[in-house]
């Protein structure tokens, strides 16, 4: 169909006839001569339609953006003064001899229904090319560092990974079901017990959960595991991987080393375990200043062991109107906050007289002075306050920090990677009051004594680590439990009975008896990582054929119905909803 890609045409082909195929990127009509920039995956090529060739010129007049064309023509130099140095093909053009034969930005449902047309657009094709370059760079790095690419099963059994499983009925084992893997966690641990030493896989995973812009029911991750390592060995290697990938694909130099921050510090300073360090705003704890005030909105949470009163100082924020403050109040209500108190610092040198706020009358002089001093507020600043359970204050002010930073242009350019470490091992479920694993039940605690873990599970930290980039978690991992007694203690604390543990993880517990090396690993969310690198708004823009937020595919109309014969073969009977 073609002799060359568009982006391959150059001065060496001048005087030759070529055949090119692609999509109309841009059409221009200059005084009777029609110019078309023809696009394929390799780049753009200027094609010229001369009015002296009446037949082909008439066809060119009907051409519009994104038409699919095949052009046969003569390569010639561009006239003097029309060379385009910004194009690979900017010194030549093709005079069309033969021509063989719709594009606003549609809404997402239309784009996904006609995805094969949507993928023709330059930015979408560029996103997929970037994704390819990222995975190629990952493979190059890992292959060069002794990692072995191993596939693990797609049909497995349900495991407690924190989300609902997609289940698959078994025809040959009536009444039983496979589960699609939420991750290859157990299998990669078994590979370490098998002596593989270093494993990786770019793998599809599945989670039946409510979706957001950065979530999909099926997603891709780079999965890595290493033997005879500690946290530093894993994080240093993965840090080196990221630096290599960013340099190879974006020509970006990431810092060396990445900064590290404890979970407790991140929550205290930023209200989030994935803080965006490009925004130079921090939360300031003022609980001690509010514990004795008469204002119960502040005094109550300040005295509550599970409460918190925190402040967020916004430089230059005193110019915010009441409407803007009301909009921010509404914004944080989605995080459970019941209000948003504030103080405008009009003139810091004037004391109370230079402040403006509905809450000032409730605060004594020493509390006000302490707030100004601790937040380092200056004239023209605004101080927001959150007072409630610590979780609500952190969620609300953490989100407000990012929102204000974006709205007021306080997000610095560039890339801000961060390791977050020293997570709690367990957290209490608010309803059942049961201990839950903050990561997963195979994460090693920071203490080696199983009895000590049983005695104080709420105080235990885990040997987990998350990698954050520009406020998004792009990966996470941990050192794993390699001792059978410790694994049994964790199951016990998570209310997993011996019978349930044996049924679901008996093969893992048995494998631990045969000698297991200390091991750990990490998984990168490939979709989310490429989304950030591409500057896209949604991971759907970096996945060739994604699902919608209702976990459906408009292109193929999946999920769909199956025949009665298929249901019968797998022993499934549908319960038809009762209708009026």
pLDDT in tens, 287-323: 999 988 888 999 999 999 999 999 999 999 999 999 9
In a domain, 1, yes or no: no
| Domain containing residue 226: CATH number | 3.30.930.10
Question: Do both 436 and 321 map to the same domain?
Answer: no
185 and 153 Cβ atoms separated by less than 8 Å: no
Q: Is residue 471 part of a domain?
A: no
Domain with 17 in it: what CATH number?
2.40.50.140
Shared domain check, 125 and 78: no
**Distances 49 to 28, 54, 329 between C-alpha atoms, Å:** 10, 9, 59
What are the pLDDT digits (tens) for 247-290? 999 999 999 999 999 999 999 999 999 999 999 999 999 999 99
- If asked whether residues 511 and 524 sit together in one domain, one would say no
Check whether residue 289 and residue 406 sit in a common domain: yes
575 falls within a domain: no
In this prediction, residue 154 carries a pLDDT of 96
Pairing of strands 17-30, 33-40: antiparallel
User: What local confidence, expressed as pLDDT, does residue 161 receive?
Assistant: 55
> In this structure, are strands 472-479 and 33-40 parallel, antiparallel, or unpaired?
unpaired
pLDDT attached to residue 102: 46
Planar angle of CA 563, 564, 567, nearest 5 degrees: 95
* Residue 374 in domain: yes
* Backbone phi and psi for residue 261, each to the nearest 5 degrees, phi listed first: -145, 140
**291 shares its domain with 343:** yes
What pLDDT does 125 receive?
92
- 222: helix, coil or strand? strand
Indicate which CATH number applies to the domain containing 390. 3.30.1360.30
Q: Within this chain, do residues 507 and 548 fall inside the same structural domain, yes or no?
A: no
Pairing of strands 435-437, 426-428: antiparallel
Residue at a domain's end among 411, 444, 471: 411
Residue 472 lies in a domain: no
Residues 404 and 300 in one domain: yes
- What letter does residue 427 receive in the DSSP assignment? E
Residue from 197, 180, 179 nearest 188 by CA: 197
Give me the number of domains the chain comprises. Answer: 4
Q: What share of the chain is helix, strand, coil (3-state, %, to 5)?
A: 35, 25, 40
- pTM, whole model, 2 decimals? 0.84
> Residue 237 domain-assigned?
yes
Residue 106 covered by a domain: no
Same domain, yes or no: 255 and 136:
yes
What's the whole-number average pLDDT of the chain?
92
Strand (E) positions, 447-528? 464-469, 472-479, 519-525
Closest CA to 55 of 98, 90, 23, 7: 98
**Per-residue pLDDT at 203:** 97
C-alpha–C-alpha distance, residues 175 and 570, integer Å: 8
Whole-number pLDDT of residue 97:
95
Residues 220 and 296 in one domain: no
pLDDT of residue 162: 63
Are residue 388 and residue 294 in the same domain, yes or no? yes
Enumerate residue ranges in the chain where pLDDT < 70: 102-105, 159-162, 212-214, 580
**One domain, residues 500 and 541:** no
Q: Is 161 within 8 Å of 184 (Cβ atoms)?
A: no
Radius of gyration of the chain (CA): 30
The partner residues of 156 in beta bridges, in order of sequence, read 179
Looking at the domain assignment, is residue 272 inside a domain?
A: no
**534 and 438 co-located in one domain:** no
Residue matched to tokens 């707030």:
371
Query: What local confidence, expressed as pLDDT, does residue 497 receive?
Result: 85
What pLDDT does 159 receive? 66
Residue numbers of the domain that contains 362:
279-411
Among 100, 126, 157, give the residue marking a domain's end. 100
């Amino acid at each position: 169909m073609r002799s060359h890609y568009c982006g391959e045409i150059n001065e060496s082909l001048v005087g030759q006839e070529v055949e090119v195929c692609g999509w109309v990127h841009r059409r221009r009509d200059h005084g009777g001569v029609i110019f078309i920039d023809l696009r394929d995956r390799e780049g753009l090529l200027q094609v010229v339609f001369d009015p002296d060739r009446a037949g082909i010129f008439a066809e060119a007049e009907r051409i519009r953006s994104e038409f699919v064309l095949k052009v046969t023509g003569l390569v010639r130099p561009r006239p003097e003064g029309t060379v385009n140095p910004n194009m690979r093909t900017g010194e030549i053009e093709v005079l069309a001899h033969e021509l063989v034969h719709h594009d606003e930005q549609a809404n997402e449902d239309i784009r996904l229904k006609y995805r094969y047309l949507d993928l023709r657009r330059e930015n979408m094709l560029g996103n997929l090319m970037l994704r390819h370059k990222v995975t190629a760079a990952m493979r190059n790095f890992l292959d060069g560092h002794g990692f072995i690419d191993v596939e693990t099963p797609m049909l497995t059994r349900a495991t407690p990974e924190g989300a609902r499983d997609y289940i698959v009925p078994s025809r040959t084992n009536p009444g039983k079901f496979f589960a699609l893997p939420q991750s290859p966690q157990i299998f990669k641990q078994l590979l370490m017990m098998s002596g593989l030493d270093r494993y990786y896989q770019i793998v599809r995973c599945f989670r039946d959960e409510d979706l957001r812009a950065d979530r999909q029911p099926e997603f891709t991750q780079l999965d890595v595991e290493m033997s005879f390592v500690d946290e530093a060995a894993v994080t240093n290697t993965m840090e080196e991987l990221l630096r290599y990938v960013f340099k190879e694909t974006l020509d970006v130099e990431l810092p060396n080393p990445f900064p590290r921050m404890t979970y407790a510090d991140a929550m205290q300073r930023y209200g989030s375990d994935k803080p965006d360090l490009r925004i130079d705003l921090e939360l300031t704890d003022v609980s001690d200043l509010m514990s004795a005030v008469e204002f119960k909105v502040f005094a109550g949470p300040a005295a509550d062991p599970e409460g918190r009163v925190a402040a967020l100082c916004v430089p230059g924020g005193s110019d915010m109107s009441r409407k803007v403050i009301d909009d921010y109040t509404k914004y944080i209500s989605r995080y459970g906050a019941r209000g948003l108190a504030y103080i405008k610092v009009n003139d810091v040198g004037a004391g109370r007289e230079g402040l403006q706020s509905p809450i000032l009358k409730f605060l004594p002089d020493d509390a006000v002075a302490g707030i100004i001093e601790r937040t380092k507020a200056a004239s023209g600043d605004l101080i927001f306050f959150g007072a409630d359970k610590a979780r609500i204050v952190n969620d609300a002010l953490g989100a407000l920090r990012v929102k204000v930073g974006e709205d007021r242009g306080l997000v610095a350019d560039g890339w801000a990677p961060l390791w977050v470490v020293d997570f709690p091992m367990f957290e209490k479920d608010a309803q059942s009051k049961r201990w839950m694993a903050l990561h997963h039940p195979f994460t090693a605690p920071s203490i080696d004594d199983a009895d000590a873990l049983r005695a104080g599970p709420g105080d235990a930290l885990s040997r987990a680590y998350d990698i954050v980039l520009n406020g998004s978690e792009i990966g996470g991992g941990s050192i794993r439990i390699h001792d059978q007694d410790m694994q049994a203690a964790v199951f016990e604390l998570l209310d997993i009975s011996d019978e349930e543990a044996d049924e679901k993880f008996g093969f893992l517990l048995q494998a631990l008896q045969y000698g297991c090396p200390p091991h750990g690993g990490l998984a990168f969310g490939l979709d989310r990582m490429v989304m950030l690198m591409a500057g896209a708004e949604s991971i759907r823009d970096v996945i060739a054929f994604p699902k919608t937020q209702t976990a459906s595919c408009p292109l193929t109309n999946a999920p769909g119905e199956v025949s009665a014969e298929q249901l019968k073969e797998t022993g499934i009977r549908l319960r038809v909803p009762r209708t009026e």
